Chain A
Amino acid sequence: MAQELATQETSDIATTNGDANRRAMAFTPAVDIFERDDTTVIVADMPGVAPNDVDVTLERQVLTLRGKVTPYAPEGYRALSSEYRVGDYIRVFTLSDEIDQDKINAAFKNGVLRLELPRSAETKPKKITVKAA
């Protein structure tokens, strides 16, 4: 949610690092993260982003969610009042488990990104049997 103007308690604005060409501000999308069985699910709100402008990268254990917003400017209209600001979204997470990259499921619908990240087989807890000597 790009609700930066309305929320005062938390800083919603993220700074884009070293990206000098894009001076537009970026917002931190609100997320829900939960785990079920061996899958971590991340749900992120990115209103105003077209499905093709969502970019998810996973490098080692660093997951980056990016959403590019095309500023909305209706023709023949002038801005009157604004309670929220519009900008790109960026959020970075460090995952604690190794993820099976081939089985990642990403869906984007109605401005909401849903990522399903299954844990890879190697990192699933293995039972080690202790043999009596």
Chain B
Amino acid sequence: MLQTTFSPMRTMDPFADMRRMQSAMNRLFDGTRTAGQSATYPAVNFWAGENSVLMTSELPGLTEDNIELTVQDTTLSIRATFPEPETGDDLVWHRRERVEGSFLRTIELPFRVDPERVDARFENGVLTVEMQRPDADKPKHIKIKAS
């Protein structure tokens, strides 16, 4: 996996690195694209909150039991295997467009997340993961005293 060193002094926007990371990943896999399917799977959307980040992804056909989600420091990984399509000699296929097989996607987050406070839900084929910044990592306001 690609690792970017995140220097907090370099940028004002903590999410700039994340966007850069995503575009770098997209470029990296651009050549390996197969017809009808994007190279980075699954597609994810990110939402930013005060001290948290929320990710959504469309994973139709999976269940909450067969998605494996891991969070470590600033890395989030989603791994899953889609159920085997039906097979049989008496089966005549007309169209086969749905995603098959398994995937692993690793996403670099803009800050460390508290692994104890990750809230993941799966509803109607959409995965929602809400991650909180650990209290110790939150930026602290420093009061300036007049001398």
Contact = CB atoms under 8 A, between A and B. Distances in A.
Interface string A31-61: 1111111000101011111110000000000
B38 A77 contact: no
A6 B46 contact: no
Nearest to A12: B36
Contact of A7 (B36, B47, B85, B125): B36
B44 A112 contact: no
Contacts of A35: 91-92, 94
Contacts of B94: 33-35
Contact of B61 (A3, A50, A112): A112
Nearest to A108: B124
Contact of B126 (A30, A43, A47, A82): A47
Given A79-B47, A80-B47, A111-B126, A47 B37 contact: no
B52 to A, nearest CB: 8
Question: Chain B contact residues (Cβ within 8 angstroms of A): what range?
Answer: 35 or more
B115 interface: no
Contacts of B63: 110
B92 A32 contact: no
B124 A5 contact: no
B15 interface: yes
B28 interface: no
Contacts of A2: 58
Contacts of B104: none
B60 A45 contact: yes
A17 interface: no
B140 interface: no
Interface stretch (B2-10, B68-76, B95-103): B95-103
Contact of A31 (B35, B40, B58, B97): B97
A114 B96 CA distance: 14
Interface of A: 1-3, 5-7, 9-10, 30-37, 41, 43, 45-51, 72, 74, 76-84, 110-112
Interface of B: 15, 18-19, 22, 35-38, 40, 43-50, 53-54, 56, 58-63, 85-86, 88, 90-99, 122, 124-126, 130
13 contacts: A1-B99, A3-B38, A32-B95, A37-B90, A45-B60, A47-B60, A74-B54, A78-B47, A78-B49, A80-B18, A82-B45, A83-B44, A111-B59
